[in-house]
Amino acid sequence: MKHIKKRSGFTLIEILIVVSLLAILAVAALIAINPGEATAKARDAQRLKQVADLQKIMEQWMQEATATTAFTAISTANAATVTKCDGTGWLSSNAAFNVCAYANSIVVDPVNKATQTHQRTADTTTGTVAYEVTYDGAQHYRICTHLQSQANRASLTADGGIHNFAYEISNVTAGNGCSVVN
């Protein structure tokens, strides 16, 4: 009687099937994770923290300021000095608003570009993604930014601001809104 040798190992077809299944699972996981949205959420979290920091700076400044000159500052500059607190930064270059007394450096949007995709309440659009600080000269301020994550669309209407295209923090509910409009 002949002995049949028992083979060990996998055939080429079995290996191809396993590799194909792993590739399908990897693609499905990548679609479920959505790295673009996760990155946008992380940038939005940084924006929300930095806007809150700007709010604290504005509140401290207004307690001591006697400035009656209105100003608007937008952080779209890409210069190396944009975050410096020496009169060359996007916010410290305004003589009426001496942010340097309240911060060592100036926050800047994680993207800080004039053309970048961001969210509005009903759609996605391309426009300025930056910080904007507006002061009306009468102790009223508004701080605005755009958000990029679709998951943060609800924040645009729940922020108490007057526009649904930008995230706003303000100590006034009327008046002009954000000018960082696309």
Q: With bands split at pLDDT 50, 70 and 90, how would you rate the model's confidence at 22? A: very high
Q: State the average pLDDT for the chain.
A: 78
pLDDT at 106: 80
**Number of domains making up the chain:** 1
Report whether pLDDT(15) > 80.
yes
Spatial distance between the Cα atoms of 140 and 102, rounded to a whole number of angstroms: 18
Q: How far apart are the first and last CA of the chain?
A: 85
Q: With bands split at pLDDT 50, 70 and 90, how would you rate the model's confidence at 91? A: confident
Which of 115 and 111 is assigned the larger pLDDT? 111
Domain containing 91 equals: 35-170
Spatial distance between the Cα atoms of 1 and 22, rounded to a whole number of angstroms: 42
Q: pLDDT, tens digit, for every residue of 120-148?
A: 545 555 556 678 888 888 888 888 888 88
Does the residue 141 lie in any domain?
yes
Does the residue 107 lie in any domain?
yes
Which of 39 and 181 is assigned the larger pLDDT? 39
Stated as kind and residue range, the H or E segment containing 115 is strand 113-119
Does the residue 58 lie in any domain?
yes
Q: Structure pTM?
A: 0.73
What backbone torsions phi and psi does residue 125 show, to the nearest 5 degrees? -145, 175
Percent of all residues in the chain with a pLDDT value above 70, rounded to a whole number: 75
Q: pLDDT, tens digit, for every residue of 46-87?
A: 989 999 998 998 888 888 877 777 777 777 666 666 777 776
Which of 144 and 22 is assigned the larger pLDDT? 22
Does the residue 39 lie in any domain?
yes
- Contact assessment for residue 142 and residue 109, using Cβ atoms and an 8 Å cutoff: no
Most confident of 30-34, 71-75, 92-96, 100-104: 30-34
Does the residue 28 lie in any domain?
no
* CA neighbor of 142 nearest in space, from 159, 129, 117, 119: 159
Report whether pLDDT(157) > 90.
no
Does the residue 11 lie in any domain?
no
Which residues on adjacent β-strands are paired with residue 135? 71, 141
Does the residue 79 lie in any domain?
yes
pLDDT at 121: 47
Does the residue 72 lie in any domain?
yes
Report whether pLDDT(153) > 90.
no
Residue 74 burial (CB count, 10 A): 20
